[in-house]
Structure 1
Amino acid sequence: MSGHGKVRLAAGWTALAWTLWARAQEVTPTVVVEGPRASLQAAQQVRREQLAIVDAVAADAIQALPDFSVTDALQRVTGVQVARDRGEGGAVAIRGLTQMSTTFNGREVFTAGSGRNLDFADVPAEMVAGIDVYKSGMAEQIEGGLGGAIDLRGRRPFDFAGRRLAGTARLVRDELAGHSQPQWSLLASERWRGAGAAEFGALLNLVHQRRAWREDQSSFGAPLPRTDLLAGRQVAAASSHTESSSAGRRERDAAAVTLQWRPAAGAEVYAEGRYERFRTRQDTYQIVLANGAGVLPGSVTLFPGTSDVSRVTWLRAPVSIFSFARDTVDRNRALALGGGWKLGALRLKADLSHSDSHNALYFAGPILAGQLDAVGVDLSGPQPVVTAAGEDLRDPSRLRLARVSYAARPYDGKLDALRLDAGYRMTGWLDELSVGVRAAARAAGNAPGLVTADAPVPGEPSLLAMPALAAAYPYPAFMPDGGRGLDHYLAGSLDLARDVAALRRQLGVTAPLPAAGPLGMWRIRERTTAAYLQARFHADPAALEGNAGLRAVRTREAVQGMQSLPSSGALAPIALTHAYLDYLPSLNLRLQLADAWYLRGAASKSLTRPNFDQLSPSLTLLSNSITPSANSGSAGNPALQPIRANNLDLALERYFGQSGAATLTLFHKRVTGFITNLSQAETHDGAVYQVSRPYNSNPALVRGAELGYQQTYDFLPGWLSGLGLQANYTLVDSATPNALLGADIPLPNLSRHSVNLVGIYQRAGWSGRVAYNWRSRFLSNVNNYVGLGVLPVYSEGYGWLDASVACKLSPGLTVALEGGNLLRTIRRANFGAETRPQSWWSNDRQLSVTLRYQFD
């Protein structure tokens, strides 16, 4: 397009945008809305009414797209980025920081592990009434959110005017896996009215999900300098190539029971119980090709203008074939009892809760070894092409049973908490004064510890000698969306992979499964006591509202583990305690500039405590009797301080119509105490060791801007009046020191740019959404590679497209067609340059038919 054409196009879009904006300012009559418009209105109301800076997602918006878990819904919130895990949303970050506070109905919740947060993938999307993402802090909120806080709002019976029966039935087909699986949910709620103002309500929410999945990954080892591939020239060639096909089933089961009782006006008592189980069953076939002993003459070519190998044919290449089961399970339970009382201007609240969580990993399977006469690797295209000569890997006589692998790792945790809050409404400029206390006792551990029990197979027999352990690669093709891989080979059978004792017996491994080493186990008990004071105020002439508060929290940690004593070869228990006190002030201001125009400002201090494995006191010492200066060791650090941040936010907001909003938010975070491993000299058992421990060291600067817009175009004529749009853009600039580079780098796994576009339609019983999520490339890690120095690993930017279309068959019955990952996105990573690829990932496209029902 010419420069004049671009100018005319920009002018046209500007004129259209101005017309839509002007029409949106016209007064429209109040109507009852539902579906997509109701979800936009609910999200707008949350942000507008809160004094803190908050973004929200309502249940209608979550259910309007094929979101399996809460993570899938979070990916479309301004300032939130998610990783991908087997085709679904994975780890969550707010403005680039994964350290956040996670709550359910305001109560702290978690998934057992080395970290502290809830894995949002544990919670099915149908279990929540909404999600609130707090970007600025308040004194009344539970501490722990360095980047922010995410509160999941569960349903309660008093949310409905009376009886409610609703649910879904869905059949999901995953194209790459080639299987269809059922999912369903049920919500049943009832209210009973007693004498006077007395009311009682009960709610039951059940969800069951099953989804087949498959993910293919093609990976290359770090590049190595070679002088034997091209005469007189040093080139860089990948050190290895790995192809993995993983498939299986994901299951989510969840249940929630809530009881509410209002014995009289102004009084309420509630009891809540929740249960979630999230299980991933995975079968993986993986082939690892090491570089061969030689290369085919004339087969080596380079990427133009580089020293990076683009094509090569290796001769006599060693091969390892891994077949393994890798299963994980999370189980979370929570109970809560509480109530609230309003006595005139006085408001009282109490909440007592218990939660516990278990997380486990199981990994086992046989390992084969062999050799390929020749293997060709071509990286010149958009995806790798890997070929092998002959039938080498389909001949069982050329493969031997080398090893059997096994690993198991448990985590457990529990939390008991009591919270008391009081508020008193005032007159004059001070609207309300609130105070509260919270006491919590949390425990975490990994007993009986990580067990790793890889064992050699006696004699490494040929696979031909044990034909029952032979299994062909089970899929029609590897990476079917492009490229080519090795998809015609024999692997080890997984029939006994989930019975490792029987597998070891069949392979002739007589050594019993070992117990975990005590040096790898830890147990931590943490007690926190917090108190806050918060005032809400206003100034009428300036149309100013706000709250200011201070939260004081004392943390005491008691950690237990084991330490080695090299002088005697014995182990001894070690137990340490550590305590610290933090003061966390916060200020939130909202100034009404004009009708529906708001300016917000927020300032706060926040913290996140170290991960549990970083606090472990367990100490491993390795002495060197020949060279004492080479004595080494490793341990956690119970003296770690929290990571702390000073936060500033400034937001400009414009609200129009029933659901329209345009927002601009600027943020600035200065973080201190990021944790990194350092090696320092320590004296133990009368000798000096270089011990590697985590320390608070690195600061970070995180700043950026968020743009948000949403509107329904009811004023347009005819069928166009059903259109609507949600759009947001986030810019995050971050910097933290890196010791390897001696310079600042961005925070890992943080994209500088991210965009969400959601097209909406609702009219005459039809509704639909098309959601596109895109994030720019991001730094994964930085490592030092032999011969090449320090190289970054980047994941390239990618987009993700989901969509749905629904038809209302009757007032209470809707049928929908839904699709996830419609573009079959290929994700890529490289060692700092496209000519040095690191990984490709291919995931399923998911298609589903959903029936939704609701009766009052």
Structure 2
Amino acid sequence: MKSKAQKAGHSPWSPATAVMVLAALPAASHAQAQAEPPEAAGTEAVPAQRIVVRGQRASLDTAQAIKREHLAIVDSVVADDILRLPDFSVSEALQRVTGVQIQRDRGEGGIVTVRGLTQVEATLNGREVFTAGVGRTFDFADIPAELVAGIDVYKTSSADLLEGGLGGLVDLRTRRPLDFVGRQFIASARLVHGDLVKNDAPQYAALASDRWSLSGAGELGALVAVSLQRRTWREDQKSTGTPLLRDDIAPGATVASSTSETTSVGTRRRAAVSGVLQWRPAAGRELYAEASWQEFKTIQDSDQINASASSTFDPASVVFFPGSSEVQRITWLNAPVSILSYARDLIDRNQQAAIGGLWHEGNFKVKADLSHANSYNNLFFSGPFFGGTAAQFTQDLSGRAPSTQVTGTDLSNPANFRYTGIAYRTRPFHGELTAARVDGEIVLDSTWLRSLQGGLRLAKRRAHNAPGLVFADAAVTGVGAADKPGFVQPNPYGDFFPGTGIASLRDYMVGNLDLARDPQALREAFGITAPIPPEGNPLSVWHIDEKTQAAYVQAPFEGLDGLLAGRIGLRAVRTAEAVEGHQSSPSTGTVEPIAIDNSYTDWLPSADLRWRFMPRWTARAAVSKTLTRPTFEQLSPSLTLVPNPIDPRLNQGFAGNPGLKPVRSSNLDLAIENDLGAMGAWSLTGFVKWVDGFIANASNDETHDGQVYRVSRPYNSQSARIQGLELGGQYFFSGLPGAWRGFGVQASYTYIDSQTLNTALGTRTQLQGLSRNSANLVGLYESGPVTARIAWNWRDRFLSGSTAVAGVGVFPAYTQGYGWLDASLQWRVNESLTVALEGGNLTRTMRVSNYGSPTRPQMALLNDRQYSLGATLRF
């Protein structure tokens, strides 16, 4: 028998089966719209020029115009450009922006960093948005790429932009009905196939917009956009346990402690709806109301086999890496084996609503906006564990990923296993934000000083994780896997790491997950009578209220007949935090409530300068101060303990620190740009950030309830300097004859040096998750009805963590450099119909990490190639 996710079948219209493994808790609406470029996330507006977005060249020109006209250093991508490649979410669209790096999650774009920093402020049409969870930022994977009209990445700060983005600010712009000339209806569908999961799933998107002239009352517009995505996926993960010091092999010898091999399959579902009403009763007057909803759900089934080092081994099997004391190959005798089969489902659900308006009369302009957002995130984890012993377990670390083999024991025979436990864990997060904002501008009759701008913003944000982490794993004893034949099955994915030639553990029994999503029934089937607790340990629960009051003033100026322009500004922000939770009393050992209030004020000056010193040449300079507040979980006083049911030495704990201070930064940016006209443009930017008080984590052993846990706690570390260069541009070969002139290229390269003290390693390292070098190369072609793109995204190795090894020290963990290849081919059949063939991860990239050396492998990951066939209709 198979679980629901595994039973998805191979029908093109089935719900899909999904990918990736977490081993413990831990369509396209190509709007061919005639539209004015939208205003920035703050109050600075791009000069109103009518741009018809038709085709690849026009979309790139629009993005370049936004970059050229802004005073800030900003990179943009617009809808038609986003949808030229098979990007499922905003996160994937962002990876092609200079200076942006992303991490992969189930083969898709995940965490976004700007200039190496995850502290990125996110806004939707200028309003702050967030995803409930361990952080305070927005998960850009939550929004389907089809629903955005454009993305602006602000690399420099200004007084009118929201504070909070140490790395920068990303503003997502959605379409509005009065942007279109008249009635629009756009619908798209595509079928996506994953070659590892061998399954298909459909995706749909639609947009309907219209505008009406009201007799004597101006114009009214309404727009509704919908996106429904399903993607089936599979991810194979092979992890090597932390190195062990084994003097019985040889004095000072280190050896891999285990293998953990997981196949995860499942479905990712994105659903999003947005609606807008716009009314312009007269010139200079506008009222609007808009609302949006997104749900991003990952349904995952995982089968994981673990084989560990034992107390005995075959001495004749031992081979060392040349010239080292690190074991390359070894065969363990009577090695412990465990199998974990589990359902792991994760959901994000976000809602936003806003009303506002604009009044513009003569030299005066006022905008007001009132918004509310809430977000919910929940993790569900459930399934059976069983274990046994392998007569011989062999590991060979000489390949790109370790080879593994079990001999002498039939792992496909249920009689060789006994149940050890049933897992159950849930972990929710909740958040909401209410904000009111007013911005005003007075245009001045001055030669240099063009206007005075200012504004106020009041916001109240709440976050909590009640009822906390519910950890209800239950032990099972005296039950063999053969005693319950209906709860085990042969591994349905015996082609582990296909096409790589890497030997792995493939023929073994796995758990049946039919009852995994009915945890009470699963527990009853194994005679577990203890009820699932309704809430977690009070130590793990926290609640935080945060109020901010912000005011800004800024003054744009201009001179030399418009060749020189800039602005200076100041933003003042008052932050008040109220933290509630529980802590253990050291004297009595009891759990007691704790409440901590804290407040602080920041003054954030900024200045921008733009000088067009030669025809087609522009120089820019920007200075600013920014801050990022600690995440809510970092501020919480709570303690979360996660026991490891297989190896208690791997028990983990996570705790917060209410005394954390914000991370503050002083920034300098210098840039030069060259506009090549119809042939393209390029730019070079250098930047430095002097960061004070980066938040780091320190891990130490602590004893709780008689068990030892390695508990990680955050603290404000020493200052750091981040500096780098960004080089990017686009070029069209317009001088080539005939159809050859349709070729073009986009390219970017980013270098970032972020030396900071890593207390765990006791040395200076790059920031965690940051590649020193990254690049994008996109080949473009457009001729007549045919448009094609091929995009290569690459990043070099980055620090992904550190691991303490008993008796040896702390090893850094590095993910090695890798590239990702996507491509698309589109054919415009007529003015109404376009068809597309697209492919993602075409080289089926294998991502590999190690503990600071290829002789100490850590993990390897392999994801599907994704192929899709789609069509778009416009009326």
Shift of 1:542: 8.2
Letter in 1 for 2:635: L
Structure 1 match to 2:351: 333
| Contact 1:669–1:703 under 8 Å retained in 2 | yes
Measured against aligned partners, the alpha-carbon deviations of 1:378-433 in whole angstroms (never above 9, x if no partner) come to 22223322121145211111100111111100000000000000001112211111
Alignment partner of 1:746 out of 766, 770, 779: 766
Letter in 2 for 1:229: I
How far, CA to CA, are the matches of 2:325 and 2:420 in structure 1?
Answer: 36
Moved more, 512-521 or 782-791: 782-791
Measured against aligned partners, the alpha-carbon deviations of 1:808-828 in whole angstroms (never above 9, x if no partner) come to 111121101000000000000
Shift of 1:492: 1.4
How far, CA to CA, are the matches of 1:267 and 1:293 in structure 2?
Answer: 79
Kindly indicate whether residue 475 of structure 2 is the aligned counterpart of residue 495 of structure 1.
no
Structure 2 match to 1:846: 866
Shift in CA distance, 535/329, structure 1 to aligned 2, threshold 3 Å:
same
Measured against aligned partners, the alpha-carbon deviations of 1:702-729 in whole angstroms (never above 9, x if no partner) come to 1000000102222311111111110000
How far, CA to CA, are the matches of 2:329 and 2:713 in structure 1?
Answer: 42
| Contact 1:547–1:589 under 8 Å retained in 2 | yes
Structure 1 match to 2:267: 249
Structure 1 match to 2:398: 380
Structure 1 match to 2:320: 302
Measured against aligned partners, the alpha-carbon deviations of 1:144-163 in whole angstroms (never above 9, x if no partner) come to 01010000001100111111
Kindly indicate whether residue 613 of structure 2 is the aligned counterpart of residue 601 of structure 1.
no
Kindly indicate whether residue 165 of structure 2 is the aligned counterpart of residue 165 of structure 1.
no
Structure 1 match to 2:818: 798
How far, CA to CA, are the matches of 2:859 and 2:158 in structure 1?
Answer: 42
RMSD of aligned Cα (Å): 1.9
Counterpart secondary structure, 1:188: strand
How far, CA to CA, are the matches of 1:752 and 1:70 in structure 2?
Answer: 23
Structure 1 match to 2:707: none
How far, CA to CA, are the matches of 1:833 and 1:506 in structure 2?
Answer: 46
How far, CA to CA, are the matches of 2:762 and 2:103 in structure 1?
Answer: 28
Letter in 2 for 1:639: G
Structure 1 match to 2:252: 234
Shift in CA distance, 667/329, structure 1 to aligned 2, threshold 3 Å:
same
How far, CA to CA, are the matches of 2:187 and 2:712 in structure 1?
Answer: 53
Measured against aligned partners, the alpha-carbon deviations of 1:106-152 in whole angstroms (never above 9, x if no partner) come to 00000001211110000000010010000000100111010100000
| Contact 1:44–1:659 under 8 Å retained in 2 | no
| Contact 1:564–1:619 under 8 Å retained in 2 | no
Structure 1 match to 2:526: 507
Structure 2 match to 1:813: 833
Structure 2 match to 1:455: 474
Structure 1 match to 2:450: 431
Letter in 2 for 1:484: A
How far, CA to CA, are the matches of 1:757 and 1:345 in structure 2?
Answer: 45
Q: How does 1:391-790 map to 2 (within 5 A)?
A: 391-427=409-445, 428-459=447-478, 461-482=479-500, 483-514=502-533, 515-540=535-560, 543-565=563-585, 567-618=587-638, 636-658=656-678, 660-677=680-697, 694-790=714-810
Shift of 1:312: 1.4
Measured against aligned partners, the alpha-carbon deviations of 1:357-376 in whole angstroms (never above 9, x if no partner) come to 00000001000110111122
Structure 2 match to 1:6: none
| Contact 1:472–1:489 under 8 Å retained in 2 | yes
Structure 2 match to 1:824: 844
Alignment partner of 2:65 out of 45, 48, 51: 45
| Contact 2:189–2:871 under 8 Å retained in 1 | yes
Shift of 1:738: 1.9
Shift in CA distance, 592/335, structure 1 to aligned 2, threshold 3 Å:
same
How far, CA to CA, are the matches of 2:661 and 2:393 in structure 1?
Answer: 52
How far, CA to CA, are the matches of 1:692 and 1:834 in structure 2?
Answer: 27
Shift of 1:637: 2.7
How far, CA to CA, are the matches of 1:421 and 1:500 in structure 2?
Answer: 52
Q: Which runs of 5+ in 2 are unaligned?
A: 1-49, 642-652, 701-709
Letter in 1 for 2:224: L
Kindly indicate whether residue 77 of structure 2 is the aligned counterpart of residue 57 of structure 1.
yes
| Contact 2:679–2:733 under 8 Å retained in 1 | no
Counterpart secondary structure, 2:717: strand
Moved more, 306-315 or 576-585: 306-315
Structure 1 match to 2:331: 313
Letter in 2 for 1:381: G
Measured against aligned partners, the alpha-carbon deviations of 1:273-297 in whole angstroms (never above 9, x if no partner) come to 0000000000000011111332224
Structure 2 match to 1:210: 230
Structure 2 match to 1:272: 290
Moved more, 31-40 or 100-109: 31-40
Q: Which runs of 5+ in 1 are unaligned?
A: 1-29, 622-632, 681-689
Structure 1 match to 2:149: 129
Shift in CA distance, 172/807, structure 1 to aligned 2, threshold 3 Å:
same
| Contact 2:698–2:759 under 8 Å retained in 1 | no
How far, CA to CA, are the matches of 1:652 and 1:667 in structure 2?
Answer: 12
Measured against aligned partners, the alpha-carbon deviations of 1:235-265 in whole angstroms (never above 9, x if no partner) come to 2210111101111000000000001000111
| Contact 1:576–1:617 under 8 Å retained in 2 | no
Shift of 1:569: 4.9
Shift of 1:39: 1.6
| Contact 2:747–2:778 under 8 Å retained in 1 | yes
Counterpart secondary structure, 2:520: helix
Letter in 2 for 1:224: L
How far, CA to CA, are the matches of 1:608 and 1:478 in structure 2?
Answer: 42
| Contact 1:246–1:284 under 8 Å retained in 2 | yes
| Contact 2:53–2:59 under 8 Å retained in 1 | no
Letter in 1 for 2:256: A
| Contact 1:40–1:659 under 8 Å retained in 2 | no
Alignment partner of 2:373 out of 339, 352, 355: 355
| Contact 1:41–1:659 under 8 Å retained in 2 | no
| Contact 1:458–1:508 under 8 Å retained in 2 | no
How far, CA to CA, are the matches of 1:458 and 1:372 in structure 2?
Answer: 20
Alignment partner of 1:261 out of 264, 279, 292: 279
